[in-house]
Amino acid sequence: MSSINSIAIIGSGTMGSGIAQVCAQAGYHVFLYDINDSALNKAKVGIEKNLDTAVEKGKMTQNEKLESIKNILFTSKFEDLKADLCLEAILEKLEVKQDLMQRLAAQNSKDCILASNTSSIPITQIARGIPHPERVVGIHFFNPAHLMKLVEIIAGVETSDTVMDTAESLVLQLKKTPVKVKDAPGFIVNRVARHYYVEALKLLEEDVATLENIDALMESMGFRMGPFKLMDLIGIDTNFSVTSSLYEQFFYDPKFRPSRIQKQKVDAGHWGKKSGKGFYAS
């Protein structure tokens, strides 16, 4: 498990495509999978746009851009996903992730590392029932993955030290900053940052201030993005799902209570930038 040459990324949304880009730039052979061909096309356009921006800023050459794109196979064929490491960036639902891990385990060797980009679900739960659970690990990137440096590496109860070390080495090869974390709901960042969103939504529910003013005030305090702008970027549906997951895993502690306003946005399909409308119109 010490050598990684090929990486399969399952899910071509904002996170999956960003992770695929980072891995391709580092020289890894990448399979980017999605069941939806239009999602794959959108991911390819987004990756090329990010790389073009990097070229324009002098952070990479045109040849490096072309090599990075060549390193990615965009595929909707699940049987293509045979790699040294498979990383899922799909729906934040435990049963969906477990089913995917079982399918990946069935067509890969026992030495294939199975990784999750989950924001909130304990790795121990995801690894339950998976053959050789010692190779299941959390590798949690932050949005936007091609820019954010921090990556949490999470050990489940059965995750081996070798797999943790291999994951750490991979993250360093990607020129990111790895932080090893013990398994717990939300890990470190999402557990702490959850209240950046939850409390902002409570202020909005209580009509203390407008969302524009809340964002402006937080940005004036040094945050690069206000909570509502950030939820639009991440995806309001994704953010709501993570909050709901933590609320359940902390046995319905009121401090993690999801917002009715956010739930209404999700129900209306106002998911932020990816749907063209969220707390702001985009």
d(CA 188, CA 195): 12
Q: Which of 119, 120, 160, 245 is catalytic?
A: 119
Q: Which of 88, 92, 134, 152 is catalytic?
A: 152
d(CA 147, CA 142): 9
Are 175 and 141 a contacting pair, CB within 8 Å? no
- Determine whether 116 is an active site residue: no
Q: Which of 71, 117, 140, 241 is catalytic?
A: 140
- Determine whether 140 is an active site residue: yes
- Determine whether 146 is an active site residue: no
Q: Which of 68, 120, 190, 239 is catalytic?
A: 190
Q: Catalytic residues, which ones?
A: 119, 140, 152, 190
